Amino acid sequence: MTESPFPEEEKLYGVLDPNIRRVCLGDYEFDTWYGNAVYFAPDESTLGYEYSNRHLTKRASRKPATTSFWLDTLYLCDQCFKYSDKKIEIDAHRAACAYRARAPGKVLYRGAGYEVRRVRGCKHPLFCQNLSLFGKLFLDNKSVFFSVETFEFYVVYGYDGESMLPMGFFSKELLAWEDNNLACIVVFPPFQRRRLGTLLIEFSYALSCSEGRVSGPELPLSQFGRVAYVAHWCKVLARAFMRGAFKDAVKVKMAQVSTVTGLRYDDALMALRHMGAIEGREVLRGNIEKWVEENRINLEGSVLEEGGLVVY
């Protein structure tokens, strides 16, 4: 992640309590989960984009009556994530937002009702910065992106009524030392419980496999990220051992598991331990089957639709 322009506030980014009470994203209004000091100038009351405006007339602090919040409501465009503390400004912008007619980036996956677009930070820096700022309100263990040129953002779009809206994303660092396929992932609150997190995780691995890479997410994982990824890894392994490449194998080495499933060695090992299916270097097939039965795991299919990944 990149360096903060406010070094003295760096300690706030991962632990700050919500400093914006609510956000209004297009027609949706909902509470924030975590704080984000980067939206603000150092006076903790003026939004950063206003503070840097030469024509800004300094106003009294806009902190609401409750002192736990720096701002009561933040208004955002539901296409480009441009933001303001004035609803009238965002309403006027939404009506003319260029991304409403044409979303940024290139479609890499298209399924029934959803698509994933790759948006490169070097080509759409303002969109990616605003997307990152917004995502931080719902992530507890990631820093905010400033130099987005070295990142790609994979944004899931879905239909909400007749409109196609961005509903979540994951980012990927292009110059990472580790061979990660994902830096951070978030699905926005109004669009959760649609299995979009699973879709993005499966897509990230499908993309890695299309590139011939064994890969995985950047560590450490957040609490919610760990739950989602362990569930995904366990299902992938259960499928491989009960219905896939290892169904009839007598002995399977962990190196083979990693190569065939596309999961990193340590990630696969963590999942097998979670299922109680590893003893020394031996995979206990019976314990995998028992775990699947006890947890009523459905091994059928994938959230990604067959043929949905666009070759590029």
The catalytic residue positions are 218
The dihedral region occupied by 195, where left means phi > 0, alpha psi between -120 and 50, and beta the remainder, is: left
Give the number of other Cβ atoms within 10 Å of residue 52's Cβ: 10
Q: Which long-range contacts (CB under 8 A, 24 or more apart) does 126-129 make?
A: 126/80, 127/80, 127/81, 127/99, 128/153
